[in-house]
């Protein structure tokens, strides 16, 4: 064969530097790398405690009515076209009335923009807010797609802390100290990934008042809406939309347990119409017009997905989640080198701290998770990926018996790698 190809000086091949910056904070890449470490000859089942996707487990299967709604939409022949930029009117209208059930005011169809999952909503918002010099405030620990999408859009981000000793509440004083004249938004995640916390009415009021004082919007990531199984009920941030304008990001991925269906939304929970006045709304529509759309058949199915999924499904799912969280918390308590500062009461995750002085031959959380994947076929997300070195994020949204098994393996891994002193080996 001729080798003339080798003599061509190809001009492409340099990676967009923003993409490199974004990949540095990509949690998918991090967790994916751990899956590759798993020993394929291990006969034990892989325990996927690294990312929250309960949908493969029979006990978390989506409601039959929701699956039937998509099947019916697909065979109706009515949803084979391109949708409009904001989404099909009947779908937006169904989402508006669904969210209005939990708000003191009514949303209209025009307040909803559909996205290809909540991740796409994050992409849209980080792109729309990226004006020169602007910055946004993101939680630490957080959900790293915010950092990745901000980096890719050239939007500056600053981290405020969530406080483990205060049930992972927002460090309000820290937020005030961090903001300046160029700050445009604060992002909150409630119920919280990765901490498993749920914010109280009082705390949300404080966040809204702080946003008002600073003149910034609140972006409230509520992909885990109603995923609260402790003593605190879920309160949507939109309830405080009169105090400061709120953009609510959500979708069906987590509550309906169908992340593969890729349907999310941006809701202007802004009863005073600030987003329309400041042209943010217009910018969102413009961005949506040049980005991907959620599949029209899923949009077409949304009114039925919402109407036909009954309360029993959600109640059962929450009972399963509460039970799984309890198993997780109790098992973790029995592992000496792990501290869990706050019992999970929402979402599908818990953050725990590793006592690194306990181990011999393990230097940090990434090293810990890599060895754990190799030796025990247990995948857990290292806290470094979320801005918390030597912490771990564990999901309990897996089949309870596999969860128990995975956490037992975590425990024996810790014991096996303990420093001699810890093992109380007689000298
Ligand atoms: C899972 C998750 C998302 C992404 O939701 P999709 O609808 O699957 O794109 C967004 N935000 C947080 C905090 C999440 O945990």
In the beta sheet, which residues pair with residue 170? Answer: 162
Residue 185 within a domain? yes
Q: Are the beta carbons of 380 and 394 closer than 8 angstroms?
A: yes
Residues 284 and 414 in one domain: no
More confident residue, 32 or 343: 343
Q: Rounded mean pLDDT of 305-326?
A: 96
Tokens 């997905």 found at: 305
- Asked, for residue 13, whether it belongs to a domain, the answer is no
Q: Give the domain CATH number at 73.
A: 3.40.640.10
Summarize pLDDT for 141-156 with one digit per residue, the tens: 999 999 999 999 999 9
Taking the CA of residue 348 as reference, the ligand 1 atom at the shortest distance is 15
Q: Are 370 and 25 in contact (CB under 8 A)?
A: no
In the predicted model, is pLDDT for residue 378 greater than 80? yes
Instruction: Give the residue from 132, 179, 127 showing the smallest Cα distance to 150.
Output: 127
Residue 5 lies in a domain: no
Do residues 342 and 234 both lie within one domain? no
Cα-to-centroid distance, 122 and ligand 1 (Å): 9
Residue 264 CA, closest ligand 1 atom number: 7
**Domain finish residue from 287, 308, 329:** 308
Q: Are residues 246 and 124 in the same domain?
A: yes
Instruction: Name the 3-class secondary structure at 355.
Output: coil
Please give the share of the chain, as a percent, with pLDDT higher than 90. Answer: 89
Residues 369 and 299 in one domain: no
Average pLDDT over residues 65-72: 98
Kindly state whether residues 368 and 290 are assigned to the same domain.
Answer: no
Nearest CA to ligand 1 atom 2: 223
CATH code where residue 37 lies: 3.90.1150.10
Q: Give Dmax over CA atoms of the chain in angstroms.
A: 77
The two counts, helices (H) then strands (E), for the chain are 15, 13
pLDDT band of 30, cuts 50, 70, 90 = confident
Judge whether 37 and 374 are in contact, CB under 8 Å.
Answer: yes
pLDDT score of 375 more than 80: yes
Report pLDDT digits (tens) over 172-194.
Answer: 999 999 999 999 999 999 999 99
pLDDT at 323 over 90: yes
- pLDDT at site 187: 98
* Same-domain status, 130 and 259: yes
Query: 242 with 206, same domain?
Result: yes
- Residue 223 located in a structural domain: yes
Residues 280 and 385 in one domain: no
390 within some domain: yes
Q: How far is the CA of 222 from the centre of ligand 1 (A)?
A: 9
Higher pLDDT, 17 or 99: 99
**Measured in angstroms, how far is the CA atom of residue 427 from the centroid of ligand 1?**
51
**Residue with the nearest Cα to atom 5 of ligand 1?**
118
Question: Which one of 285, 308, 331 terminates a domain?
Answer: 308
Per residue in 329-345, pLDDT (tens digit) is: 999 999 999 999 999 99
308, 330, 353 — which closes off a domain? 308
In angstroms, what is the span from residue 55 Cα to ligand 1's centroid? Answer: 14
pLDDT by residue (tens digit) across 105-117?
Answer: 999 999 999 999 9
**225 CB neighbour count, 10 Å cutoff:** 21
Is 425's pLDDT higher than 80? no
DSSP designation for 228:
B
State the distance from the centre of ligand 1 to the C-alpha of 360, rounded, in angstroms.
36
Q: Which atom of ligand 1 is nearest to the CA of 254?
A: 1
Query: Which mutation among 223, 292, 321, 351 tests ligand 1's pocket best, with the greatest number of atoms within 8 A of CB?
Result: 223
In terms of Cα–Cα distance, which of 353, 344, 352 is closest to 396? 344
Give the lowest-confidence range in 6-10, 58-62, 286-290.
Answer: 6-10
- Distance (Å) of CA 119 to CA 78, 126, 152, 292: 27, 11, 14, 12
pLDDT for the residue 423: 59
Does any domain span residue 12? Answer: no
Ligand 1, closest atom to CA 122? 10
The total number of structural domains in the chain stands at 2
Segment 226-232 shows an average pLDDT of 96
The model carries a pTM of 0.95
Cα 261-265-268 angle, rounded to 5 deg: 170
Say if 267 falls within a structural domain. yes
Residues 281 and 345 occupy one common structural domain: no
Q: Residues enclosing ligand 1, CB less than 6 A?
A: 117-119, 143, 189, 193, 221, 223, 251, 253, 259, 264
Which range, of 107-121, 143-157, 213-227, 413-427, averages the lowest pLDDT?
A: 413-427
Query: Are 117 and 53 part of one and the same domain?
Result: no
- Do you find a cis peptide bond into 35, omega within 30 degrees of 0? no
Phi/psi of residue 48, nearest 5 degrees: -85, 80
Q: 411 is written with which tokens?
A: 């425990």
Say yes or no: 94 and 214 in one domain. yes
* pLDDT confidence of residue 344: 97
Strand segments, DSSP code E, in 101-200 are 112-115, 135-140, 156-163, 169-170, 183-189
Domain that holds residue 117: 64-308
Mean pLDDT, all residues of the chain: 95
- Which residues does 65 contact at the CB level (< 8 Å), separation at least 6? 304, 305, 308, 309, 310, 313
Predicted confidence (pLDDT) at residue 1 exceeds the cutoff of 60:
no
How many angstroms is it from 386 CA to the middle of ligand 1? Answer: 14
The answer to whether 329 and 350 are in contact (CB under 8 A) is: yes
- 317 in the same domain as 287: no
Q: Considering the domain boundaries, does residue 359 fall inside one?
A: yes
């Amino acid at each position: 064969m001729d080798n003339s190809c080798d003599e061509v000086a190809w001009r492409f091949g340099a990676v967009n530097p923003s993409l490199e910056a974004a990949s540095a904070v990509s949690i998918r890449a991090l967790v994916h790398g751990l899956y590759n470490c798993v020993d394929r000859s291990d006969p034990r089942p892989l325990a996927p405690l690294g990312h929250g996707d309960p949908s493969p487990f029979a006990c978390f299967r989506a409601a039959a009515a929701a699956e039937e709604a998509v099947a019916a939409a697909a065979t109706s022949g009515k949803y084979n076209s391109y949708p409009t930029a904001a989404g099909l009117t009947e779908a937006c209208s169904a989402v508006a009335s669904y969210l209005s059930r939990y708000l003191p005011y009514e949303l209209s169809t025009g307040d909803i923009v559909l996205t290809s999952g909540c991740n796409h909503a994050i992409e849209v918002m980080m792109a729309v807010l990226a004006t020169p010099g602007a910055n946004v405030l993101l939680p630490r620990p957080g959900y790293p797609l915010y950092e990745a999408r901000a980096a890719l859009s050239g939007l500056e981000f600053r981290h405020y802390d969530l406080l483990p000793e205060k049930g992972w509440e927002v460090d309000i004083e820290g937020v005030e100290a961090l903001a300046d004249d160029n700050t445009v938004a604060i992002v909150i995640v409630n119920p919280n990934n990765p901490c498993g916390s749920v914010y109280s009415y009082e705390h949300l009021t404080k966040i809204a008042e702080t946003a008002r004082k600073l003149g910034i919007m609140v972006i409230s990531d509520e992909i885990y809406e109603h995923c609260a199984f402790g003593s605190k009920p879920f309160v949507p941030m939109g309830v405080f939309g009169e105090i400061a304008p709120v953009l609510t990001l959500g979708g069906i991925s987590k509550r309906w347990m169908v992340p593969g269906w890729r349907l999310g939304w941006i809701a202007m929970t802004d009863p005073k119409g600030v987003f329309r006045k400041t042209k943010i709304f217009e910018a969102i529509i413009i961005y949506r017009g040049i980005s991907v759309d959620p599949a029209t058949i899923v949009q077409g199915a949304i009114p039925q997905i919402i109407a036909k999924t009954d309360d029993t499904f959600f109640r059962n799912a929450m009972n399963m989640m509460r039970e799984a969280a309890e198993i997780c918390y109790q098992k973790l308590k029995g592992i000496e080198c792990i501290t869990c500062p706050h019992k999970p009461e929402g979402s599908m995750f818990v953050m725990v701290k590793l006592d690194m002085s306990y181990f011999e031959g393990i230097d940090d959380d990434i090293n810990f998770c890599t060895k754990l994947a190799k030796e025990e076929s247990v995948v857990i997300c290292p806290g470094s990926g979320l801005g918390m070195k030597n912490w771990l994020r564990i999901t309990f949204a897996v089949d309870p018996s596999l969860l128990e098994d995975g956490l037992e393996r975590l425990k024996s891994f810790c014991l096996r790698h303990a420093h001699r002193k810890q093992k109380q080996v007689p000298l």
